[in-house]
Structure 1
């Protein structure tokens, strides 16, 4: 048939487009799983990881005398081309698939085999010279190839997220320094609490990101344990002696990652606990980042009828009907990313729980969910830093006015005039609109000099210019203040 080549499998023969590097197994998978419309090529880190695993396997098989140098050389060359970005469009199976990732593994086997055949001077599909299963997949099973590739792809994706979080952390830390002397009212339960600085508020966001970066780095460490060499269920059937260690050594060299072979390959082949752990940490990051964005939206609300404490940089018109309206669209999009991450975490949890006996068949959806979470969260961090946080400005005078007019100031007087007297002043200030300091002077509860000392910004916020607060990962210059030491309960 012109323009096609004929391939066969256990179900019979099929015609494959002659320019396709994939084969009959991939064709059947595309027919069987028209699920999301998202091919695995959407995740280039996964394709690179699959090629790295196949390259490591070829080198191990050559070293162990199972592949000729010619075949191994062609396989290695094909894999390196894929890892350089070529042929990614040939990875066409849907990311969600039955079979525990078999379709993904076979897609990789066929693409690598057909490119290696060309390098050896043969036509695609001439598998008598080099076979997808017998040569590319030699000593392997989907059940150790796919989980290993997923782990490598996930590690590299997480590294990208860690870097993006560092950028956002630095942006918040820089604003903490910029706003270190801007006095404002703190709030608990949306009610006036005690004074603080805007720098202290922004330093909190930087610290939260620093903590979450540490937790993510810890979770990623667990993903470095692989089961390559386990073959079908962890017993290593059909893999020669020394294969697991040899393949792992080559794979670490190829990827630059400190991979380790699991001490118990049977356990490693069925256990997805490390993915659950990682997903939980990613959810933690998303939840806290979403809370931060809630704060930014609230603090910038207005400009006339809201808090109007800070200004977010305007990035687009906010309404098709209300002229002049500008919305906090960047924090809003980050909120939505966070909602998706929470949902993906449930997916990972259920998929890990659904495994049975010696294999978890649901790692494809774990890959899909984690990849979506990590890549979208990375983009969200960079977008928030570059299109929002770096351009935030403070409405300094309005912030100071709220402090001067707030009954929250009475908290600073409480240890000196007593709770009962302080409560009476707060009640009268609220009823009359008069200031706390004005009433305290009028009632002669404290000498003017003592009152002035008690209500200085430095004392109200416990903010010393050299106060120790973690700054951004590459931030230089003075550090923002530490968290305020507020008396009393929430």
Structure 2
């Protein structure tokens, strides 16, 4: 018996693998539906990555302009495609991107999802029927002169560059905050530690200056890695040969993309290399990993320096943002540094995926590039959010426990270090072995007057 209610809710589309029911209100089509059914596992859908969708739309718009100029598609088809791309760039229709971003097939589901949504929206604009693939066809027109390989390669790099611009703002704010805090604490003497044991006297600001320096250095290395991915393979089609794309299209498509995106991009010197190797993405991920490792060290230091307050180091006070315990009344835990640490753990995990994708590419096309790119986007988004919280709710509000720092600065080991600088390592080692701490402190206090020269 025919379910007429279901017929009203769905439309039938067919391909070489048979007929499939597609939701009537869906702008995607049968290829996307099959991918949703066959290739989904992670729960991470393309609609959760609006920046990537916009980058894909930017690539498709550039391709439509280049195809029109090259005579591959006529003006009416190109105009309809461009209109649909512009709607995606404005944030419309993103709810129709339901494919799993970690699918097999070298990104085919991503490319077909965007092809079908653009084609159906273009056909609506031309007063045609959604799902008809007429007059605008998802592969014949929206995907003309392109391959999944060069589309996704290019769009992912464009998305990473644009996501990085948001992370960079947060990194600069953190660097400035750290530098200011270092200056604020430069007149606070305290104690250093090596091997978790007491060391020489330093200024608290010197420790914080080290934090500012490593973040700045890691930021500069990351920025350079981002610059390196501005070389793309659009026009190279599947493996870099450019087969399937006319010469004039290949000559102008990157120029069109630069004009639309406002990003300075250029064609990779060797397009076969671009299809085979994603070490440029591996480098970005490694820089993110090094940044995360450095941030873990800083956040752990803050937990130690603020530990106590009575039985720990207690050299600094972290801002109190919420109750720290459901058991201990009044207990305040370092929840913001601990949140940053866990964010950075996730970034390290993302990097392992990227390096695995780099390692497991075979022959003429690395089909795992999509997984690498998504994990880089995830890492950058997590860092952008966690660092924004860390700067605003923790680092900017750190205060020094001046009294505690002064007590530590005048402890036994700092005194021994200063005596060593004046009387030599051997002599002071002998005193430490033979004299009490009180006697050595007396030597220090009196400028060596009680030294037994024998």
Query: In which range does the TM-score fall when normalised by the shorter chain?
Result: over 0.9
Moved more, 19-28 or 335-344: 335-344
- Residue 129 of structure 1 pairs with residue 135 of structure 2: yes
Match of residue 224 from structure 1: 230
- Residue 72 of structure 1 pairs with residue 78 of structure 2: yes
Match of residue 378 from structure 1: 384
- Residue 143 of structure 1 pairs with residue 153 of structure 2: no
Structure possessing the higher relative contact order (Cα contacts under 8 Å, 6 or more residues apart): 1
In structure 1, C-alpha distance between the alignment counterparts of 2:351 and 2:29, rounded to whole Å: 34
In structure 1, C-alpha distance between the alignment counterparts of 2:142 and 2:294, rounded to whole Å: 44
Matched residue SS, 1:358: coil
Kindly report the root-mean-square deviation, in angstroms, between the aligned alpha carbons of the 2 structures: 1.6
Please say if residues 43 and 100 of structure 2, whose CA atoms lie closer than 8 Å, have aligned partners that are also in contact: yes
In structure 2, C-alpha distance between the alignment counterparts of 1:442 and 1:199, rounded to whole Å: 28
Match of residue 160 from structure 1: 166
Moved more, 24-33 or 417-426: 417-426
In structure 1, C-alpha distance between the alignment counterparts of 2:347 and 2:63, rounded to whole Å: 34
Match of residue 441 from structure 1: 446
Report the alpha carbon displacement of residue 288 of structure 1 after superposing the two structures with TM: 0.3
Structure 1 outlier segments of 4+, above 6 Å: none
Structure 2, unaligned stretches of length 5 or more?
Answer: 1-6
Report the alpha carbon displacement of residue 426 of structure 1 after superposing the two structures with TM: 4.0
In structure 1, C-alpha distance between the alignment counterparts of 2:450 and 2:215, rounded to whole Å: 44
Residues 4 and 174 from structure 1, CA distance in 2 versus in 1: closer, same or farther, beyond 3 angstroms?
same
Structure 1, residues 31-79: CA drift from partner, whole Å, max 9, x if none? 0122111101111111011000000000001111122111111111110
TM-score for the superposition, normalised by structure 2? 0.95
Match of residue 32 from structure 1: 38
1:87 corresponds to which of 87, 90, 93: 93
Structure 1, residues 2-32: CA drift from partner, whole Å, max 9, x if none? 1322211111121211211000000001101
Structure 1, unaligned stretches of length 5 or more?
Answer: 447-490
Matched residue SS, 1:170: helix
Structure 1, residues 235-278: CA drift from partner, whole Å, max 9, x if none? 11110012223110111111111111112211111111101111
In structure 2, C-alpha distance between the alignment counterparts of 1:442 and 1:358, rounded to whole Å: 75
Matched residue SS, 2:13: strand
Please say if residues 417 and 445 of structure 1, whose CA atoms lie closer than 8 Å, have aligned partners that are also in contact: no
Moved more, 361-370 or 418-427: 418-427
Residues 413 and 121 from structure 1, CA distance in 2 versus in 1: closer, same or farther, beyond 3 angstroms?
same
Please say if residues 193 and 408 of structure 1, whose CA atoms lie closer than 8 Å, have aligned partners that are also in contact: yes
In structure 1, C-alpha distance between the alignment counterparts of 2:444 and 2:61, rounded to whole Å: 79
TM-score for the superposition, normalised by structure 1? 0.88
Please say if residues 75 and 116 of structure 1, whose CA atoms lie closer than 8 Å, have aligned partners that are also in contact: yes
1:111 corresponds to which of 109, 113, 117: 117
In structure 2, C-alpha distance between the alignment counterparts of 1:162 and 1:384, rounded to whole Å: 15
Please say if residues 443 and 449 of structure 2, whose CA atoms lie closer than 8 Å, have aligned partners that are also in contact: no
Matched residue SS, 1:414: helix
Match of residue 19 from structure 2: 13
Report the alpha carbon displacement of residue 428 of structure 1 after superposing the two structures with TM: 6.5
2:369 corresponds to which of 363, 373, 378: 363
1:375-414 alignment runs, 5 A limit:
375-414=381-420
In structure 2, C-alpha distance between the alignment counterparts of 1:145 and 1:400, rounded to whole Å: 61
Residues 426 and 172 from structure 1, CA distance in 2 versus in 1: closer, same or farther, beyond 3 angstroms?
farther
Please say if residues 118 and 124 of structure 1, whose CA atoms lie closer than 8 Å, have aligned partners that are also in contact: yes
Structure 1, residues 279-334: CA drift from partner, whole Å, max 9, x if none? 11110000001000010000000000000000100111111111111110111111
Match of residue 299 from structure 1: 305
In structure 2, C-alpha distance between the alignment counterparts of 1:322 and 1:32, rounded to whole Å: 50
Matched residue SS, 2:257: helix
Please say if residues 442 and 450 of structure 2, whose CA atoms lie closer than 8 Å, have aligned partners that are also in contact: no
Please say if residues 407 and 435 of structure 1, whose CA atoms lie closer than 8 Å, have aligned partners that are also in contact: no
Matched residue SS, 2:311: coil
Aligned residues: 445
